[in-house]
Each structure stands twice: as C-alpha cells, then as structure tokens.
Amino acid sequence: MRSTQYIWLGVTFAFGILWVFIIQNLLFLNVFSALLGQDLNVFLPQVSSPSFTVLWFSCITALFIWIFITWNGKPRNGAEVRRMQPLWWISTILLVLLGWFYQLLFTVLIWQIQVTSPVEGSGVNYYPLPPGGWLLVMVFVVFNVLILFWLPTLLASPRTYRFVVPGAVRLLGGR
Amino acid sequence: MSLFAIGVGGSGAKCLEALCHLHACGLLQSGTGQPLRLGTFLVEPDQQSTLLARAQTAIVRYDKMRALLGNKAESFARGELRNYGTWSPLSTASGAISLDQVFPKAVLRTQASGLAALFDCLFPPEEQSAELDVGFRGRPPIGSAVMSRVSLASEAQTGQWQQMLSDIQAAAGAGEAPTIHLFGSVFGGTGASGVPTLGQMLKSWLGELGLTSVHVNASLLLPYFDFEGQGQEGTGVHAEARNFQLNTDAALQYLRSSGTTCFDHVYLIGSDIKARYGFSIGGRSQSNAAHVVELLAALGLRHSLQPVAEDAYAYVLSRAAPNQISWNDIPDNEAVGQGLSRGARFAVAWLNNFSLELDTAQKLSMGAFLSGAPWARQFFQPSGKATGTQGGRPSIRSTEELNLKSAIDAYSETLLQWLNQFSSNTGEGFNQELFTPSLLQRNPSYENALSRVVRGSARPTKEERQDMAEDIKVRMDKLSPKEIPHNGVAGLADTLWSLSF
C-alpha cells in the first residue's frame, strides 16, 4: 500500500467517526429536525445514534475485510482483479440493506419486542417517525455507506486493486 | 567497440544462437558498461539446416525487435546487432555440390595428373561423389579442401563477406580494437575444417592489410554429444560418433603445432557426459536441442573482452561437481547469472502475463481494462483513443504498438525456447541447477510466480510470495513519471526489464 493510501485510510476513517457521531447528529438537530418527529431528544439517543453506530461497525468491518482480502490477493491478471468488482457491489448493497434494517430495528422492531414505547404517553410501541423522516434516514443510510465504505475503499484499495472500486479510474486514473 | 562473430557449421550456428541471447541479456559490454556492436555471420554449406535456421531466427527476431524499439529503451535490448547473413562455401563453386564437382577430375587428370592421383589417394570414391549440400558429412578433410579454395581478398571485393570485412576494416581504421570470434566444433565436418581454415585466412588477410589491432579468437567445441542411432546402408558418407575423438585429436594436434597462425586465443569447451541426439545426416532433420556447452562457448567471447594475458593461448573450463552444473561453474557467474536470470524472468513475465494482458486490453474499453490493471496507465493513454497521443502516451490499440508487442513476443519465445532446451538437454545422469525448464515455456495461464524460474545463486533474493508478476505491476504503478522515460509498449518492456531482477 502506498504511504498516501495509509494517510487516506486514516483520514477517511477519522472523518467517518466525525460524521457518524457528531456532524450527522448536528444536521438532524439543526437542519432536518422538522422531518424527524416531535421527540428529537428520544430519536437521537435511542433511535438514530444506535442504528447508525451499528451501521458504522458494519461498514468498518466490511472495509477491513476488503482491505485484508485485497492486501493479501495475488491476482494473476486484470481479469482476476476485476472479479472483485461484483464482490464490492454485493458488499455495498448488503450494507445499505443492513442500514435500512437497523433503522427499522431501532425505530420499530426493538420496541415491539420489548413491548415498550420509546415516547412516553404516545401509546404506540415504536417511534412515530413521519414518512419524510423515513425517507430522510434511508437517504442518510446510503450516504453513510458512501462515506464509510465507498470513500475509504476508493482511496485506499491496495496494490493492483487500486482502481477496482467504481469511480476510481475516472477520479484517480490520470497520471 | 565492435565484435564480429562467425559461426561455422551446425554447432557454430548454435553458438551464435547462444551469443545472440547473451547479447540481448546485456552481457556483451565494454569496460565502461556500454553495450557493444555485434556482427553475426554464419558459414554453413547445409542451407537447409535446422540449426542454421534456429540461429537465424534468433538473430532476425532480435534485430527486428531492436529496429522497432529504436531509441525507446534505456536498458532493454540495448545491444546493437548487425546480421551479415549466411554464406555457403559451396556457393563459390559454380553450383558444385560434391567434391568431384569442386575439383573436376577430368580437368585435374589433363592438367596435373599427379594432383589427380593425390586426390584419389586422399578421398575415397564415396567421399568424392557425396553431395555436400547437407554439410561436410563429419569429414574435416572434405571441408578443408572446399574451404581452402576461398580467397578472402576476392570475397572482400564482392560477395557476402564484403560488408563484414569492410566493417572490420572501418572499425580498425577508426582506432578500435575489434575482435573476430569464430565458433565451431572440432569433431564434426564443417566446423573442424572451417574454423581453423577461416581463422588462418582472416589472420593472413588482416596481416596483409596491416590491421594488427584486430584480434582473432575462437571457441572450439570438443565432443559434447553422441548420436542415438546411426546411418543406414543407403545414407552414404555421414558423421559417426566413433570418429569424434579421432577428429578432435587431429584438430588439437594441429592447434598445438599451428594454432597461433589461426587464432590469438582459443577457448576449448566440451563435456565428458554427452547429450544424446537422434542421428541425422543434416538438413531439416538435424534439430539438436541447444546445450549448455554452446552457452559456455559463447561466453568465451565475453571473456576475451576482459584484459587477458598476452602469453595465454588456450583456455579451458572445469566444473566443481561431477554430475552437475551450477552457476558457480559459469565464468563470471555473478554478472552472467544476473543477466541470464533477468532475461529468463523477463521472457516468462512478458510472454505469459504482460503480453496476454495487452491482448485482453484489445477486447475491453480502456476504463474497464484499467480497473484491473492500474499499471497500464503509466504507459498508455487512459482514454484509450485509437489515434493520437495524450501526455506522450500512445493508445494501447495503436498498430505501431501492437507490431512492437508482436516482435517482443516473437523474440521472447525464441529466448525461452533456447533456455528451455539447454536446461533440459543435459545428458544422462547430469543435472543443471540453473533454470527450471518446465517454467520456460509459453503458456496462456498468466504466470504469476517468478521465483522458481531461476535456480541457485542467480535467483533474486526475494521471498517467494513477494516475487510475482503482480509485484512488478505494483512497482510499475508506483513509479513516478520521471522514472519512466519511455511510454507505450517500449516503455513497458523497458520497465519490466529493469524490474525483472
């Protein structure tokens, strides 16, 4: 791996933490609060943070598995390198689906299983997220996967896998 | 400085084949490390000889590759080569292909009856009438008689010798000290008769012209192979393995008494353990595989480039183990081992990996190709446009680039074939610890592991897992533009050559 790739991996990793745990919450609180229901003091600590933290763990795990596989790969030719592209897409789609599932889990399912209500006095065993809020968190899941998986794999895929991530040839292919 | 190599007969041609590959591997250099100019000239009455064709193929393919490369390489194929072609001593005899046509007996009887009687005394009827278009049939006296009719003074005016002799004169006139090196066996027919005869003629010719700075050396091959079968009744006069020792003894006696009139230095190389070749009278059926002895003979020319003691005349070689040859037995093994190792690893990596990658690139968009081959953007334009250049980088599909690729493919295949032959053709009970023959072949499997191509001390000291074609690709990708002075296929081959060892 090139020294610049180590730096990019570190930078994107740090930015991912900053994004998930600080910037995203600030955006929810200050920009998108109207879309996220009446009880942001419940949504942020009990719904949004845990679901995006689990997504962060999933993305970081997938990222390190990707780096491990590509770091240890000894592809004979370009065709073997390109065979990693479907794996990357499957990982990405899986992460997005998992992210959406985590939203459903922490917004609805976990409360249903525990038979409790996240908002006292609401009378429902789930967090009442408006349809606009659902759309917003689903878009944010995609955005999180881009920041936490696509960006570091784009900038830090090692050796001959350097350009295998979608967009790498276009963005990094010049000399 | 210029070198002029003359291969006489089948074994001589095989030595020139080896010499061509040594030159390609950068092993013929001046004291300052500059590659030398090598001129090659083949002397062979058997124009259908497979051995001759193989030497010509190596020379022509290297020459073509160099012509297409031009100046677009810093370290790959730097050695200049001039091919002076092939000459048959029978070509001066007005179409005569037998001894009694070269020396018509009817004419001899009328003009010098004594000579005719001597002719009959020296050559039995079957030798007089044997057709020599398959060579001198393992009989040095036949060859000597034919060769002695050659006049270098007249050949220098016309004919195929003209260009080489005038280049020798020009090189000596320019203050160089050119070397003429003859190669041939002393146990067969053509080489045994041709090498000393031509050596003596060249020395006399140089003496007449006062060109004392020109050295005339020779690598003389002593017996190193046997025939598996023998000629049938109808084969006529033919080379017989039982005569090899007799011919050798005669040649060595001649060298001891008159050697200095033919050569300044000689390199005598043979093998007590013989390779086995199928019997052939000559022509296309004589396809003896390359042998390590021919490599050693070619290295004689390399040895003569170093300062040698003036009073030394004959050089011989020995090996450390009775049944094995390793890099330690090769003269100047560190440099020679590195050069041959680089050549072998380059040829394997090029032919079985990089060239196949370039073939794949013709079927994909450049973007798709680059996604699996980031190293390629260092040499070819990333847009993949069919014409024009971008940042000096040509299109991966340009006809010029593909022609050069084909030329490098062709030469690499020849080099691999030679390496494979000499490393697998060792003789019974005799091993070599130089190369792994099974890996020295063209195959479409995208060879990745390079660590086992070379054996022994010439193998690069890298871990097996770090010694792969993919590691070279990664290193290519990391190079800065300043480290890649040339683009396109030439730049790719040049960089691969540098990174191969």
Q: Does some domain include residue B413?
A: yes
In a domain, B323, yes or no: no
CA distance between the termini of chain A: 18
**Structural domain span for residue B36:** 2-92+138-317
Predicted pLDDT of residue A9:
93
Is B262 contained in some domain? yes
The answer to whether the beta carbons of residues B49 and B398 sit under 8 Å apart is no
How high is the pLDDT of residue A175? 59
**pLDDT at residue A102 tops 90:** yes
Q: Do strands B265-269 and B2-8 pair parallel, antiparallel, or not at all (unpaired)?
A: unpaired
Q: Are B68 and B177 contained in the same domain? A: yes
Does B126 lie in the same domain as B147?
Answer: no
pLDDT value for B392? 79
Q: Pick from B287, B317, B347: which residue ends a domain?
A: B317
B450 & B492 share domain: yes
CATH number of the CATH domain containing B190? 3.40.50.1440
Average pLDDT value for residue range A15-23: 94
Mutation site, A77, A85, A159, interface B, largest B CB count within 10 A: A77
Partner-chain contact B477 A168, CB within 8 Å: no
For residues B307 and B440, membership in a common domain is answered with no
Please write the tens of the pLDDT for every residue from B300-316: 999 998 887 777 888 88
In this prediction, what percent of chain A has a pLDDT beyond 70? 98
Residue B330 forms part of a structural domain: no
Last residue of a domain, one of B317, B344, B375: B317
Task: Let me know whether B126 and B224 are in one domain.
Answer: no
Q: What is the DSSP letter of B323?
A: T
Q: Does B478 touch chain A (CB under 8 A)?
A: yes
Tokens 């073997």, residue?
A: A80
Question: What does the pLDDT read at residue B231?
Answer: 57
CB B27 within 8 Å of CB B47: no
Domain tally, chain A: 1
Would residue B95 be called left, alpha or beta, if left means φ above 0 and alpha means ψ between -120 and 50 degrees?
left
What pLDDT is stored for residue A55 in this prediction?
97
Q: Confirm whether B324 is domain-assigned.
A: no
Angle, CA of B489, B493 and B495, to the nearest 5°: 115
Domain that holds residue A109: 3-172
Count the neighbouring beta carbons within 10 Å of the beta carbon of residue A109. Answer: 15
Decide if pLDDT at A35 tops 60: yes
Beta-sheet strands, E only, within B57-203: 81-87, 179-185
- Residue A175 tokens read as 């000399």
Judge residue A162's burial from the number of C-beta atoms within 10 Å of its C-beta, 0-12 exposed, 13-18 middle, 19 or more buried.
buried
Q: What ipTM score was computed for the predicted complex, to two decimals?
A: 0.88
Taking the mean position of all CA atoms in its chain, how far away is CA B158? Answer: 26
Closest-CA distance of chain A to residue B355, Å? 11
Chain B hits for A74, Cβ within 8 Å: 448, 465, 468, 470
Alpha-carbon span B288 to B136, nearest angstrom? 17
- Same domain (yes/no): B84, B124: no
Predicted pLDDT at B139: 73
Residues from chain A that touch B368, judged by Cβ atoms under 8 A, are 82
List B residues 371-430 in contact with A (Cβ-Cβ < 8 A).
371-375, 377-378, 382, 391, 393
Whether residues B361 and B375 share a domain: the answer is yes
Residue of B nearest to A84 (CA): B372
User: Minimal Cα–Cα distance from A80 to chain B, Å?
Assistant: 8
Same domain for B143 and B105 = no
Reported as a single tens digit per residue, the pLDDT across B190-238 is 888 889 999 999 999 999 999 989 999 999 999 988 866 565 666 565 6
**Mean pLDDT for each consecutive 10-residue tract of chain B (501 residues)?**
92 96 94 88 87 94 95 92 90 66 77 80 77 72 77 78 92 90 89 89 92 93 79 61 79 87 93 74 66 95 84 87 92 94 97 96 94 95 64 88 97 96 83 93 89 92 90 94 92 96 91
According to the model, what pLDDT value does residue A26 have?
92
